[in-house]
Structure formats: C-alpha cells, structure tokens
Amino acid sequence: MSDWNPALYGRYESERTRPAAELLARVPLPTPGVVVDLGCGPGNSTELLVRRYPRATVQGIDTSPAMIESARRRLPGLGFEVADIAAWRPARPVDLAYANASLQWLGDHERLLPRLLERVAPGGVLAVQMPDNLDQPSHALMREVAALPPFAAALADAAAQRERLPSAERYYDWLSPQAEVDVWRTTYEHPMVDAAAIVEWLRATGLRPFLDPLAPPERDAFVAEYQRRIDAAYPVRADGRRLLAFPRLFVVARRRGLAGA
C-alpha cells in the first residue's frame, strides 16, 4: 500500500481517540517505567500515554514513515521509530505494551498476542484495542463494490488484507493462562453529517486497500458507487444525521508474577 495520510486520519481525531482513552483508563498500572505505543500512528494515542504517565519512558513504533514523522513533530524528544510490530523485540521486558487500532492489520493473533505478552515484565500489561467492523455495512459494501466488473481484477486481493477478528472468548483463552484478562466489546454510534462524511472517515483507514490499487479515474468511480450505497445503507435519523455503528474489541492482560516498576 501507499503510505498513510496523517492529515486525513486526523480529521476524526476526537472520535478515534475516545477508544484509545477508554483502553488506557482500564490499565491497572499507577507508575510504569517503560511504555511502548505499538502502531502509534501520528502520536494521538502516544500523547495520552505521556499525559497519564509523565514520568515514564514512552516510546512509539509504526510501519509508516509519514506517521512516525508526524508523531515526532507532535511529541519531540520521545523515542519514535519506523518498525514492524510483528518483529518487535525490546532489549528488556517493558511495563506497558499498548496497541491501539493497530493489531487488526496483523494476522495470526493466536501466536501474536501471547508473544507480545512475553515482551511484558511480570506484573506489566498488554493493552489492545481493535476495530471489529468487517461485518458492518461500511465494510461489506467495500467488498461488494470491489466485486463489480470495473474493479474486480485490480481488487481481487483487497479484502484479504484484514481478517475477521476471533471472538472475545478466544483472546481470553490465549492470554488467561499467563495473565488476568479483561475483555470487552463496545459498539460506538458516531453521528455523521452525511454519507460523504462516512466515506471520508473510512478513506483514512479501511478503504485504503481498496483505493490504493486503482488509477485515479477508477478510484473516483469506486468512491462514487461506494458512497451511493453508503447513502442507502445508513438512513437519515430524526436530527438529519446518520449513525455510523463502529464495534471495537478491547483486551487488557496483566501478566502474572511480581509487579513491575
């Protein structure tokens, strides 16, 4: 894929930051020493970590150079690096590994999450939040439009870039032998002014694998057809707006053993 667009991603920052804050609110650590933001994006979630833990060493990694550059401008002096979460191996176990809206882009969670938990010190926490929206109309309609003749050849692999999330119970099973696990699932209902606003939100994230492979004219045609279907799928509510239902899965796992820093 092309690189991420921090400005577009930031347009719904308060809505995107809410789950990041709710995840952090459930982390039962008063004073962690080393905190890592896995998939830090433009640094909005990292800023929450710094504000809650002003005395911690806070670091951030992301695969996108544009996002890391944006995060460095936002929070100068912190340790931001372009790096892959799947290959992340800190020199010493950290106290908090925090992954907000990033792990959904990685597969094989049955191995990945226990491995991330191993990078956390005893008493430390792995905290994860992931969009769980592939069965929502917003995402089903991306796949529907991608299957139409003008797009099908170019987008044959687009839907494969993210897999459906396993159930909350399975995450509990993978982590509870080594940790106290708190799992929950929240569906937010975001009021959006119109169908175009829903499309704009999704262009910054979920739509990227569908738009990147297309040349500009096909891309415009795809967006027009997609927006037409979004308009039909999200009815106008009593105040004239649309509600974008957005389910997210949360996992907070505290590794058993002596408390960390």
Q: What is the rounded (10 degree) CA torsion for 61, 129, 55, 74?
A: 50
Single out the residue of 25, 147, 232, 259 in contact with a copy of itself (rule: CB under 8 A): 25
Phi and psi at 185, nearest 5°, equal -135, 125
Position 183 contacts a copy of itself (CB under 8 A): yes
In residues, how long is the chain? 261
Query: What does the alpha-carbon distance between residue 27 and residue 254 come to, in Å, rounded to a whole number?
Result: 8
Position 54 contacts a copy of itself (CB under 8 A): no
Q: Which two three-digit tokens encode residue 256?
A: 């058993």
Which residues have CB under 8 Å from 55's CB, separation 6+?
31
> Residue holding tokens 């957005």?
246
Query: What does the alpha-carbon distance between residue 33 and residue 253 come to, in Å, rounded to a whole number?
Result: 17
Among positions 218-247, residues that touch a copy of itself (CB under 8 A) are 237-239, 241, 243, 245
Least separation in angstroms between residue 144's CB and a copy of itself is 22
Q: Is residue 5 helix, strand or coil?
A: coil
Total number of residues that touch a copy of itself (CB under 8 A): 24
Least separation in angstroms between residue 245's CB and a copy of itself is 8
Position 193 contacts a copy of itself (CB under 8 A): no
Nearer to a copy of itself (CB atom), residue 145 or residue 197: 197
Q: Is residue 221 helix, strand or coil?
A: helix
Task: Tell me whether residue 190 is exposed, middle or buried, using C-beta atoms within 10 angstroms of its C-beta: 0 to 12, 13 to 18, 19 or more.
Answer: middle
Nearer to a copy of itself (CB atom), residue 57 or residue 188: 188
Q: Which stretch binds a copy of itself (CB under 8 A): 2-10, 76-84, 91-99, 181-189?
A: 181-189
Position 187 contacts a copy of itself (CB under 8 A): yes
Draw the binding track, 141-180, toward a copy of itself (x: CB under 8 A; -: no contact). Answer: ---------------------------xx--xxx-xx---
Position 189 contacts a copy of itself (CB under 8 A): yes
Which residues have CB under 8 Å from 238's CB, separation 6+?
none
Binding site for a copy of itself (CB under 8 A): 22, 25, 168-169, 172-174, 176-177, 181, 183-189, 191, 237-239, 241, 243, 245
